Structure 1
Amino acid sequence: MPYRWTSPPDAQVQELHLWPHNSLPQRGMAAFVLATFTLILIPALPLLGSVVLWGLLPFVMGAVWAMYFALRRNRRARQIIEVLTLDADDTHLTRTEANGRVQEWDCNRYWTQVTKYDDEGPVPHYVTLKGKGREVEIGAFLSEEERIALYDELLRALRR
């Protein structure tokens, strides 16, 4: 799961780290781009030594570069991390966006409410934290099953 409690359940301060799932690691992306380039060039083998290859090569290189650029941009856009810290008195949520912008929310742990909107949110099983007159989302980038499990874990963690 793309979230992990970094401290044991019975610790005084509990910390939960959440991040989007990245299905294509850096090495996998490099292999994919290389394989795509190789597969594109296979039909061009009969053109070796002809002028047509030089006319076709810029378009092939442009297509490979565009694919590489799109994959890199997607990877950078998914560099989001959310950190939820639960101590004896406070609940603190920090979200760091891919562009470096940081959003923070905190509340007294006693008054923190975890809510799951099954159908009313922007995604199914939308999980929020509510307190101090503000409601913030947590883990909106997770899958449906992961949000359901996160909701249950947050309820258990806040009851302690």
Structure 2
Amino acid sequence: MTAGNDFDPGNDAEAEPKLFSALLTPHRSLNRTGFVVLMTVVTVISFIAGTVFWWLGAWPIFGFFGLDVLVVYWAFKVNFRSAKASEEITVTPSELRVRRVSHRGHVVEWVLNPLWVQFEQKAHEEFGIERLYLVSRGRRVSIGSFLSPDEKASLSKALMVALNTAKRGPTYNPIH
């Protein structure tokens, strides 16, 4: 058997066309520069207010104004850390792959057959789509939990098109 006859699934998987691919990340409206500006403003206001209380003789209050700055800083750092989470969803004719990376770097991956996947969504009349699920063989995988209802609707529509394309099977195009 020669090297040309060897089965290499890595190369075969790359040759398969992607019907859908999305990298989902949590939205953060405040970037690092905005964070620095906000923390500077909060610190200055807190320092001025604390200084006023110090001059009035209530010097222990000064420490509490420093404590609130630390709590705001800590809350934003936790928020920025959770923004490192992501979900990658890829659909090919033979598999649907969901790869979830937590904010701590833990990776969980599901590989499903797109022919057997059912797509479920839970919607609220007033708020829109609340949850999206991929269901296959009794397993239920939640996707896009951090997206807004409009983003979930867009993801839902695009993913349904890709799953329907995968279920139809490959098409022969002799010109391509």
TM bucket normalised to smaller: 0.7 to 0.9
Work out whether 1:92 is the aligned partner of 2:97: yes
For the residue of structure 1 that corresponds to 2:93, the secondary structure is coil
Superposed displacement of residue 88, structure 1:
2.2
2:35 pairs with 6, 19, 29, which one?
29
Provide the residue aligned with 1:74 in structure 2: 79
% same residue: 26
**CA root-mean-square deviation:** 2.5
Provide the residue aligned with 1:5 in structure 2: none
Specify every segment of 5 or more residues in structure 1 that has no aligned partner in the other structure, as ranges. Answer: 1-10
Superposed displacement of residue 68, structure 1:
0.3
Superposed displacement of residue 60, structure 1:
2.5
Provide the residue aligned with 2:172 in structure 1: none
Specify every segment of 5 or more residues in structure 2 that has no aligned partner in the other structure, as ranges. Answer: 1-15, 166-176
Provide the residue aligned with 2:48 in structure 1: 42
2:148 pairs with 143, 156, 159, which one?
143
Distance (Å, rounded) in 2 between the aligned partners of 1:64 and 1:115: 43
Structure of greater Rg: 2
Provide the residue aligned with 1:125 in structure 2: 130
Asked whether the 8 Å contact 2:53–2:59 carries over to 1, the reply is no
TM-score by length of 1: 0.78
Q: Give CA deviations for 1:91-136 in whole Å, capped at 9, x if unaligned.
A: 01011111222221111122222111224xxx94311111233111
Q: Give CA deviations for 1:15-64 in whole Å, capped at 9, x if unaligned.
A: 2111111121111111111011112233456678x695865543322221
| Cα distance change of structure 1 residues 46 and 95 upon mapping to structure 2, 3 Å threshold | closer
1:15 pairs with 14, 18, 21, which one?
21
Work out whether 1:105 is the aligned partner of 2:106: no
Distance (Å, rounded) in 1 between the aligned partners of 2:95 and 2:116: 9
